[in-house]
A = this chain, B = another copy of it.
Amino acid sequence: MGDAQQITIWQDKVSLARARRDAGLAKVEPKLEGIPDVLPLSSQDLPKSVLTARELEITEKYSVTELLKILREKKISVEEVTRAFLRRAALAQAATNCLTELLWDEAIARAKHLDSLPEPKGAFFGLPISTKEHHGMVGKNIKTSASYAAWVETEHTSNLLYDILYSEGCVFYARTTQPQTIMHLETESNVYGRTVNPYNRDLTPGGSSGGESALVGIRGSILGVGGDIGGSVRCPSAHVGIYGFKPSSKRISVAGQKANMAGKETILSTPGPMTVERDAVELFMKVAIANEPWRLDPSLTAKPWTPYTFTKPLKIAVQWWDGVVQLHPPMRRALEEVAAACRKAGHEVVDWNCESLGHDEAWDIISGLYWPDGGEEVMNLMNSTGEPILPLTKFIIEEQPSVKKMTVPELWDICARRDAYRARYAKAWTATAANGEREVDVILCPPSFGAAAPHEQSRYWGYTSQWNLLDYPAVVFPVTTVDQVKDVKDPNYVPKNEKDRFVYQMYSPEKYVNAPVSLQIVGRRQYDEKVLAALKEIERAMGRP
């Protein structure tokens, strides 16, 4: 009977959350028509059969900076832009299940207000920006569940970053899904169900900012905000072929986010932009920092955004694998292609030999740092309503040997291990400048062992979480897609360990039809500006001016 009651509790909560979501979607006007009953594998062609020509133009023709320009010049109204993105976001929801809420009335009211101003005002004037649900935001009727049944319909106060974006004139119009505990590299929760990849619905859009990636991946948004503590901006961005940036922690504020374990400081998350345009990444960073947010959130680094420019060719270290898990063929090919392009453009390309740097040890440390209470707080939260514990939650809490309920001295021990590991890695980087050589500028590396994984298979975080442990800034950018001809499986490969076997067995090209393949550029801690400068140079080498 206790169980039956509990089931009622979590299911009632889920119904409330979905009712809120559906109420927003029901306002879409005109209604979406032309969505097939059986959705195709790829959602990429859906917009042209559902949206108007004008809506397609507004949502597809412009980059972020171009759209901002015509908005600022009043060549297009904020309301028209907003309505187009609202309808496209609703379509994205139908195709991928990426939304927790469509803010139809609020967004249109905001748009009308902005249109009524005598002068356009703010760096993001009129731009629809989509947001990860648990971040919350200003707004009188904003509730935030962070995808926990227990927190459904919880009031939310304002979020400092979003206050800044809002004061810069943006329009909030769509809030997006995240997985249970916000700690999967996929996006499934009891509250909102599973979000799928807009390029291939049999694949994950990644996570934990997978609602954002699914939405931006079908241009239901062209600039969204995710968050990253183990890959949660970069993994989903990579899986849909968009730009995603994880700055060093404490450049952008997390103040106001709804999350577990308030006060935990063993490992820090950071918000980051997810966008269709390279230049929008840096624009976002500039705007987020421009008004010295450390004057309100004093935990932030008091350091203005200082754009970096390379004056000579880069020294790029390529990480061909991480010493733990081999890359799938398309990821290997992407790395080879970009490294070749960089060499051809005159950059110095060397290997990043990290086998001696213990990326497996790094995982051992960071997975322990995620849950210093052994996961008790989140387990209690989920058990309080009886919501089922999903497989990838069990994976990240129960199946990691380092996760345990620690005493304070045990916590100090693992923090000391973390610090020693960071110092070791920093010294290895600095040592690249030994013997009169130049120091490596950035590491070019995979953001994952491969393209987007089939659902529930995202059980190796090492290619992203490594840089969270080190707190290194890292940006993801699109490179190619899985090629059924080129990216054949090597039948003779002998896996080196259990994790490697799991990843190897996951691959066969036909599972990955249409899947985008992306790469990652990593810089030293707090060299955020340099990483974005390197992105520009590397993309130039790839023929993207």
Contacts and interface: CB of A to CB of B under 8 A. Distances in A.
Contacts of A419: 263, 299
A294 B415 CA distance: 18
A13 interface: no
Contact of A412 (B261, B294, B430, B527): B261
A406 B294 CA distance: 30
Nearest to A429: B295
A298 B409 contact: no
A295 B373 CA distance: 32
Count of this chain's copies in the oligomeric assembly: 2
Contacts of A414: 263
A423 B296 contact: yes
A159 interface: no
Contacts of A470: 298
Contact of A413 (B263, B425, B430): B263
A406 B412 CA distance: 13
B526 A426 contact: no
A416 to B, nearest CB: 3
Contact of A302 (B294, B409, B526): B526
A408 B298 CA distance: 24
B407 A408 contact: yes
A76 B151 CA distance: 73
Given A377-B409, A411-B263, A412-B263, A426 B303 contact: no
Interface of A: 255, 261-265, 294-299, 301-303, 372-373, 376-377, 405-409, 411-419, 422-423, 425-427, 429-430, 470-471, 524-527
Given A298-B470, A301-B301, 20 more contacts: A261-B412, A262-B416, A263-B415, A263-B419, A294-B426, A294-B525, A294-B526, A295-B524, A296-B427, A297-B426, A298-B422, A298-B423, A298-B525, A303-B303, A373-B409, A407-B407, A407-B408, A408-B408, A408-B411, A411-B411
